[in-house]
Chain A
Amino acid sequence: GAVVSQHPSRVICKSGTSVKIECRSLDFQATTMFWYRQFPKQSLMLMATSNEGSKATYEQGVEKDKFLINHASLTLSTLTVTSAHPEDSSFYICSALRLKDGSYGYTFGSGTRLTVV
């Protein structure tokens, strides 16, 4: 079945540093990748939508200069949290849109637990 590999699964970084999270579709082409953030005991909140070869579309309230998204190929999308602060500590998860046989679905990565100290 369709698999999205997300790395790293956990990362601890110092305040002010940057962290890159990768999502790679292993057996299908992900033309669209969604990036979500989930705080403890809360729902998944969409941060941005990226389409291969074009600029990402950010949701209201999400700083595009802080959360850099790159989707340079059909199998790789990255999210870089720049100048991370403790309030950026969260669970980040990607979701690839799968188009198949006239229908569509979503494949989630395994998530990245980011802790900023």
Chain B
Amino acid sequence: GENVEQHPSTLSVQEGDSAVIKCTYSDSASNYFPWYKQELGKRPQLIIDIRSNVGEKKDQRIAVTLNKTAKHFSLHITETQPEDSAVYFCAASIRNAGNMLTFGGGTRLMVKP
């Protein structure tokens, strides 16, 4: 089955700096790649997603890039703020093949004021 690796496991940045989280996936058939932000004890919240027919997507301070050849995708957060501190998960799924999401191990992002 699909295997998603995520790095780094923890990331500490200064407020205003950028943060980059990277994920790799194993199944070349994966075609949907969402990123979730999870605060302690809460449900994961979708912050951005990308489908395999697109190489990059941006939404204000958040962007995601996808390299299908290398089977990796990255989350970029610019101008980080303390409220960006949370655990971020990448995930991958294959449409019409179960559609289940396989999650990466998570990255704990800490933004220092």
Interface positions of A (Cβ within 8 A of B): 32, 34, 42-46, 49, 57, 91, 93, 95, 97, 104-106, 108-111, 113
A32 and B102 contact, Cβ closer than 8 Å, known pairs A110-B42, A111-B43: no
How many residues of B sit at the interface, in one of the four size bands? 10 to 19
Interface positions of B (Cβ within 8 A of A): 32, 34, 41-44, 46, 49, 89, 95, 98-106
Q: Which single member of B89, B95, B99 contacts A43 (CB below 8 Å)? A: B89
- 6 further interface pairs, Cβ-Cβ under 8 Å (given A32-B99, A46-B100, A111-B43): A42-B105, A43-B89, A44-B89, A57-B98, A105-B34, A108-B43
Interface of A, helix, strand, loop or mixed by DSSP: strand
CB distance from A37 to the nearest CB of B (A): 12
In the complex, what distance in Å separates the CA atom of A106 from the CA atom of B104? 16
Contact partners of B43 in chain A: CB under 8 A: 93, 108-111
User: What are the 6 tightest A-B residue pairs by CB atom distance, in nearest-first order?
Assistant: A108-B43, A43-B103, A44-B103, A43-B105, A43-B106, A110-B43
